[in-house]
Amino acid sequence: MRSAKPRSEAARAPRAPRVASFAPQVGACCRVLILGTVPSPRSLELRQSYGHHQNLFWPFMGELFDAGPQLPYAQRVARLQAHGVGIWDVLAQCRRRGALDSDILRASEVPNDIAGLLAAHPETGAIALNGAKAHELFRRRIVPQLPAPRLAALRILALPSTSPANASIPRATKLARWRALVALAAPPH
């Protein structure tokens, strides 16, 4: 009996569904841009960023910016934008075998035009990366595209993932890290 050889990522890619990001949800003034990886299956189904009911993103946004899950989705996004906070994803598209960031097939990663968004929003002074995978993708896929002066002017925050898959960090510890966004989103004095 022959043992099965592990299949390469390229060989598995056609079987993995293609996932596409939503459009950026950024208002006229975006002081902080929060970047995830790509939408989860539940988010895609609902057509809402951070749509999984166990994801802590919207509860955190409720505590920080009064944009919690009790509000309709459009109102949550509008409240974030009113506070100078935008949301998007590092990847425009990819193939993903499951629901987790670890299921993303590296060869399929296509980044969003974050450099273009930042050029259109010179007021953006901080990027908050929702989780380790978003941070890794940002460093690998976006940083090389950014002009050195623009990169130097940005504050980059690697925040703990709000995903329910990231249960090893207590909620209070995560929220304490996310609180940094309040000061960063505040209008300049």
Q: Tell me the per-residue pLDDT of 11-32, one tens digit each, with 9 for 90 and over.
A: 445 578 999 999 999 999 999 9
Q: From CA 35, how far away is CA 114, in angstroms rounded?
A: 10
Q: Are strands 91-95 and 18-20 parallel, antiparallel or unpaired?
A: antiparallel
Considering the entire predicted model, what is its pTM? 0.91
Alpha-carbon distance of 133 to 7, in angstroms, equals 23
Number of domains in the chain: 1
Paired tokens of 42: 């539940």
Q: What is the CATH number of the domain that holds 126?
A: 3.40.470.10
CA angle (132, 138, 143) in 5-degree steps? 145
The range of the structural domain enclosing residue 106 comes to: 21-185
Residue 5 within a domain: no
164-183 pLDDT per residue, tens: 888 899 999 999 999 999 99
